[in-house]
Amino acid sequence: VGLIVRIIDIILKHPSQPKYRKVKMSAKKIQRDIVRISGGIALLKCAGFRYPISKEPSQSARNSGLLEFPSSSSSSSSTSPTTLSTSSLESLKKFRREVFEIVSKRTKTCIPELMERARDEDLKKEKPSLERLYFAAIELRKLFSNVIAASDADGRVSMDFLSLDSGSQVFKYRLRSVPCSIDILKQMGYEEVRGYWRVVSPVVETFVAAVEDLSAEISKMRTRTPVFKATLKLVKSNPGQGPRVLVSTLLACLCRIIDDPDNMKYHKLKLSVLFRKSGGFLNGGRQILTRLGFKVDDVTETASLRHTRSGEVDLNLVELRRNDLQRSWEELNQM
C-alpha cells in the first residue's frame, strides 16, 4: 500500500509527465512490494491503472509487463495525452483519501515489538535504566511528527525528502546508541545517504500510526525514568516547600545552560548556595543532581555538569532532562 501511495503522489506532483504514470512490473521493488503481495496488482487497477493493450494479458505477462495510468477516463476526451484530465486527477485524489482512511485505522508498525524487546534487554543489565530508550522514543516522535506537519490536506508531503544529520547530537547520542532506533528508522523508509538519514516520499498514514505507537511507548516508560524516580524520592522524603524550591531552582539553572551554553558559570553549582535556597540539605537532593547530569563532589561541595568526551555540552540531553524534570514534578503534584 505504501509503494502504491508513493506512486500516486508522484503522479499528482507531475501530472503533465507521462513517464511517472507507468509502472514496470518487472522492477525489483515492484515485484517485492506489489506483484508478490496478494491483491497488490488488483489495488493498482482499482486506482485506475490499466495494461496498455485491449486484451487482458496472460499471468506471466501481468507479472512482468507494464501498467499505466491513462491520461483521461474517456478515450474521446480532448485532453492532451501528455496531461492528466481534471477528472483523472480527482479520481486519483479520491482513491488516495479512501486508502488513507482505511489504512490509518488498521496500520500497524514495528515499534511496539521493537521497543518491548529493547526494554526486556535493558532489564537484563546490571544497572538497568530506561532513560536512553525513553529519550530515543521522544526524538523519533519529534522526527516523525515533522513528516506529518509537512504534509498537505490530501496527505502528500510537500517536500521531496526530510532528513536527519548523522552528525547531530540527536542522532549521535540519542538514536545511534539505541539499536532499535536505527531499526525503526529503516522500517519507516529512512536510508543513510552522504551523512544524512533521509526518507523519500513518506506514506503519511504510516507516520501517523508510528507517532501514536511511540506516544503509547513513551507513556509506558514515563514513571520509570531516572529523573522521575529521583523526583519521587525527593518529594516523599522531604515535607514542606523544600522540594518545590529545589526543583524550581534546578529548572532555572538548566534553562540558563540551554540559553547560554558557553557561559561556564552555569555549569558549576555550589551545593551550599543551592540547598540554602530550599531550606537546607534535602534527602535525595544529591541523587536528583546526578540524574540531571551533574557530577557531585563532596570535597569541594560543588555539582559540575558532565560534558561529552569531546568536551562539548550535550544540549539536547540537557533539554530532555529539563523537560523530564518539569513533567515529573507536574505529574507528582497531580497525584
Distance CA 329, CA 252 (A): 14
pTM exceeding 0.85: no
For residue 249, which amino acid is it? T
What is the C-alpha separation between 150 and 62, in angstroms, rounded?
36
Sheet with 294-297, edge to edge strand ranges = 268-270, 302-305, 294-297
Which of the four pLDDT bands, split at 50, 70 and 90, describes residue 98? confident
Report the chain's mean pLDDT, rounded to a whole number: 84
What confidence category does residue 156 fall into, taking pLDDT thresholds of 50, 70 and 90?
low
Count of C-beta atoms within a 10 Å radius of residue 149:
10
Mean pLDDT of 69-75: 63
Q: What is the largest CA-CA distance in the chain?
A: 90
CA distances from 294 to 4, 20, 252 (A): 50, 56, 15
Q: Is 58 helix (H, G, I), strand (E, B) or coil?
A: coil
Helix H or strand E encompassing 270? strand 268-270
Q: Does residue 80 have a pLDDT over 80?
A: no
Going from the C-alpha of 174 to that of each of 132, 139, 177, 179, the distances in angstroms are 7, 7, 6, 10
Question: Which range among 30-39, 183-192, 271-280, 284-293 shows the weakest confidence by mean pLDDT?
Answer: 30-39
Look at residue 230 and tell me whether its pLDDT is greater than 50: yes
C-alpha cell at 126: 546490571
Sheet holding 190-193, edge to edge: 161-165, 196-200, 190-193
